[in-house]
Amino acid sequence: MRIIGHRGARGEAPENTLGGFQYIHGLGIRAAEFDVRQLKDGELVIMHDDNFLRTAGIDKSLYECASTELAPFNQAHIWMDWDRQATPALRDALRIMHDFEHLEVEVKAVESAQQAERLVTELQKQLQGFERTAVITSFDLKIHQALIRQNSAFRRGLLIEGDSGEQAIAQALAFGCCQIGWMDRLATPEIIRATQQAGLAVSVWTVNNIERAQQLRGLGIDGLITDFPKMMLQHL
């Protein structure tokens, strides 16, 4: 079972930041999950929310910004013992993660098929060289459809947070996915077994309890996505 840092290591470092990715690199972890969005000028950045309020303390929509307008936003706003952290461009984060063994690249939902096509086109350009390590994941079926239309060489993972059970497995297979990312509360022994029997890898998010992590390891999951990778390293 691979320990995967959630948004870098959001319980131990500012989430989705270059500092956070350097932090897990320093731990010896070579697997990360992070979120990708596209700015109005086409640049791809790593950020979970579509607004800066929670992480940077400024109420501003990400989608109103170009890549040259990100300076005011400190993603370590609530981390008093951390230096300022900018909103990272994907290309800069990938330089830190060049030697990672596994990347779960979550593409956040978009409003239209046209936006999905534009984002996916740029994403595949920037991920060149990461074909063996990157899995592009999304809840948004428009993203999966765009990857299929573009005949993507990248592996795909379907993310599931609703109680759709084996229907989700059928959907993942229909979209040519190699894995499912199950929300922790949905990851029962039965659904994990059914996913594995379908030939799909299993990631589970977000797991921050040691006993639960040990249980999932016993069930043979492939990836444990956690906010506390250092803690998991110490106990697993």
- pLDDT above 90 (res 14): yes
The predicted model gives 16-21 an average pLDDT of 98
Q: Over the range 67-100, which residues count as b (16 or more CB within 10 Å of their CB) and which as e?
A: eeebeebbbbbebeebeebbbbbbeebbebbeeb
pLDDT one-digit tens code per residue, 55-72: 999 999 999 999 999 999
What rounded mean pLDDT belongs to the chain? 98
The predicted model gives 109-119 an average pLDDT of 98
Which domains does the chain carry?
2-235 (3.20.20.190)
Q: How big is the chain by its Cα radius of gyration, in Å?
A: 17
Contact in structure between 59 and 46 (CB atoms under 8 Å)? no
Residue 4 banded pLDDT, cuts 50, 70, 90: very high
The predicted model gives 116-124 an average pLDDT of 98
Predicted pLDDT of residue 22: 98
Half-sphere exposure for 156 (CA within 13 Å, toward CB): 27
Predicted pLDDT of residue 165: 86
**pTM of this structure:** 0.97
Residue 104 pairs in a beta bridge with 33, 135
Task: Give the containing element (helix H, strand E) for 166.
Answer: helix 166-174
Residue 11 banded pLDDT, cuts 50, 70, 90: very high
**179: Cβ contacts below 8 Å, ≥ 6 apart:** 135, 137, 155, 157, 158, 172, 200, 201, 202, 203, 222, 223
Strands 134-138 and 2-6: unpaired
